[in-house]
A and B are shown apart, each in its own frame.
Chain A
Amino acid sequence: MEEYRLELRNVSKTFGEVKALEDISFQLGRNEVVGLLGDNGAGKSTLIKLITGYYQPTSGEIYFNGQKVDHLTVPKARELGVETVYQERALAELQTLWRNIFLGRELVNRWGLLDVNTMRLETYRLMTQSMGFTSSAVNPESRVGSFSGGEKQGVAIVRALYFDAEIIILDEPTMGLSLKETAKLVNFVRDIKKAGKSAIFIDHNILHVYNVADRVVVIDRGRVAGQFLTKDINLETLMDKMIRVAETGNLD
């Protein structure tokens, strides 16, 4: 049997009376980009938060590299190589750029004291080499709240990449971006693929997902409604199916 980078088996999640996810089985292969499609409230974000350890599943099992992981927490998921670019970007806007890059995994010595110099240096390197920030107004000591939407997204993405992630999750990454910034982002997802890593890509825009994903998984009302390899389906058919699913809850 092929060993998946990540696998969810029969996972359900309920919040009180509400069934957010029901009996989800999901696989992410090695070096695969999977697009997650679904209407608002279909359960995409809940699924992501299960994978990142933010929520624990009500039932079902999660496997990383064929190994079952119980009680997945956020630090544990990050240790396993899961990095996420959240819809809400998860930035602390009053704090400086370098503090945001190392948010939650500060470089520290054994007394817990911060290695501020290395963090500033690395931030500067990432800024100039990966983020492409050239504006002199942006430096490691800048407060993130003063950045543009695209710059903030850049911070969130670079942060995800810095820590040698194996699985990169992008939750609505094109939200609030300009056309140019969106094109940059799509290229960035292609780079993840080229670098031999895996990614889960969520977006409202089917076109973006179709262009970069190897496979799309359609989620509707907390269930997997179906999945297609992008090479086996054309964009028009996929769009028709998405509309049908939203109306009837059925793909065909």
Chain B
Amino acid sequence: MSSQTNSVTSTASQPYKEPFRLSRFARTYGTQLGILGVFFTLWLIFIISAPNTFLAPQIYNAFMSTIPFFAMMAIPLTMVVIAGEMDLCFPSTMAMGMVAFILTYNATTSVALAFIAALLAGILIGWFNGLIVVRFGIPSLVATIGTQFLWRGAVLVLTQGVNGSLIYAKQSFLHPILVGKIGGSFPTQMIWLVAIAILGWVLLNRHKFGAHIYLIGDNVKSAELMGINVGRTRIMAFVLLGLVAAFAGVVTSLHVSFFWPSLGEGYLMRTLASVFLGGTSVFGGTGTILGTFIGAFIIGAIEAATVAVGLTGFWTQFIYGLIIVLSVIMHVYLRKRTE
């Protein structure tokens, strides 16, 4: 970008210092404080009603082992939603990435090449989604309903619906890096999730790309008038989600050393729920990585918590729904109050 920065050299005559004000802090971080409040309230309820489970470290290791599978994808999905778009294709991307992984491994017996092939497949699928949305002007919700079926269908055709063992990958270098256990208990996929979340935060809040994502979601007309390459930025958001979805597909499959053609199907609603629970607006323009991160952990914990608290598993979905609906109402309320 060729910004003319000549007048920037004449920096401010008076230094700009912001006095700390609680009201302003609350206004700026309203939705994030809101979701943190929900998080700690729920946690407290869990601890009080099932102290044996929630005061022991095992449950947290279990959470950190399974939540990253979908929480990783929730990070780039947040960007897609902030840009005012939607993507329902990523569960199929997970599976299609693994098909690329298996086909490449069968052809080369190299796990490294197979891993690269999976990531490339993810990038290509994301790019294809973005292209359909941007070049043909099809609403992304509609376009990705289509590609979601398309790639799931491709997975079924290519595998003939057959699932397969990935036991060969267990001895490879990839296994300890992606789904190993540090010190015998701490799951490495949690480190990947944190890394993706931090990278996502930097990209969204401290990079030109993120600035443009927010602007496009907020007011696409002014983004165009101000010379932002709206099409390229939107395609890039879909590519990022494709890449991370393929990565999450590999992580999820290596974790169990097994591939099912239905890989990812259970993650669609959880991932979407994490994003909206975290306070990202479906209308675009607002949303945070921290919110999504917390949202994913709330979603991931509810299932174990309902059982630990003494309710039957049948309650899980009911409680999911209750928390999601209440949180989304809270976010709308907070947004109105802080505007």
Interface residues of chain A, those whose CB is within 8 Å of chain B, are: 52-54, 73-75, 77-79, 84, 86, 88-95, 99, 103-108, 111-114, 116, 118, 120-122, 124-125, 128, 139-141, 143, 145-146, 162-164
Contacts and interface: CB of A to CB of B under 8 A. Distances in A.
Nearest to B283: A94
A91 B222 contact: yes
Given A105-B3, A164-B6, A112 B207 contact: yes
A140 B28 CA distance: 12
Nearest to A49: B225
A192 B215 CA distance: 29
A92 B221 CA distance: 9
Given A118-B8, A122-B11, A125-B13, A145 B339 contact: yes
Contacts of B5: 107
Contacts of B135: none
Nearest to B202: A113
Task: Find the residue from B12, B15, B28, B339 having the highest chain A CB count within 10 A.
Answer: B12
Contacts of A145: 339
Contact of A164 (B7, B28, B202, B214): B7
Contacts of A141: 18, 24, 28
B13 to A, nearest CB: 7
Contacts of B160: none
B206 A113 contact: yes
9 contacts: A75-B227, A90-B226, A93-B218, A103-B226, A105-B226, A107-B8, A108-B208, A121-B11, A141-B28
Interface string B1-35: 11111111001111110100000100010000000
B286 interface: yes
A54 B224 contact: yes
A90 B225 contact: yes
A92 B206 contact: no
Contacts of B13: 125
Interface in B213-239: 214-215, 218-219, 221-228
Given A74-B224, A79-B2, 11 more contacts: A74-B225, A92-B214, A99-B214, A103-B222, A104-B223, A105-B3, A113-B208, A125-B16, A128-B14, A163-B3, A163-B4
A139 B214 CA distance: 20
